Amino acid sequence: MAYDEGLAERLREHSQDHQNVEIKKMFGGLCFMVSRHMCCGIVGDTLMARVGPDKYEECLKRSHAREMDFTGRALKGMVYVSPEGIESDEKLAEWVGICEAFVSSLPPKK
């Protein structure tokens, strides 16, 4: 499955000033890792957002968000955001900010 190159470029631009960001091909899409933790990614034209268990229910109530069910069942702490939910750079930055806040709360990986 191909991923949205335009969204990938927007995420690259957002992360260019951040340290410890790696971009890896995963899930047939692209994954942005921060300090070796999965932060967010792209599956097709959809943002895959790792929001964490504490923000999960709140994020699911937001427009254009739904459960991430990549494996056939919902993954708690992960949501999909449809293209309409990230049309503006401000909305994309808001979602990525939620992801970055969660990932920064995790212990360092060895």
pLDDT in tens, 72-88: 888 899 999 999 999 99
Hey, is 15 helix, strand or coil? helix
Q: How far is CA 51 from the centre of its chain?
A: 8
pTM of the model: 0.92
Q: Band of the pLDDT at 16, cuts 50, 70, 90?
A: confident
Q: What per-residue confidence (pLDDT) applies to 69?
A: 86
Averaged pLDDT of the chain: 93
Hey, is 92 helix, strand or coil? helix
The CATH classification of domain 5-104, taken from the options 3.50.50.60, 3.40.640.10, 3.10.150.10, 3.90.1150.30 = 3.90.1150.30
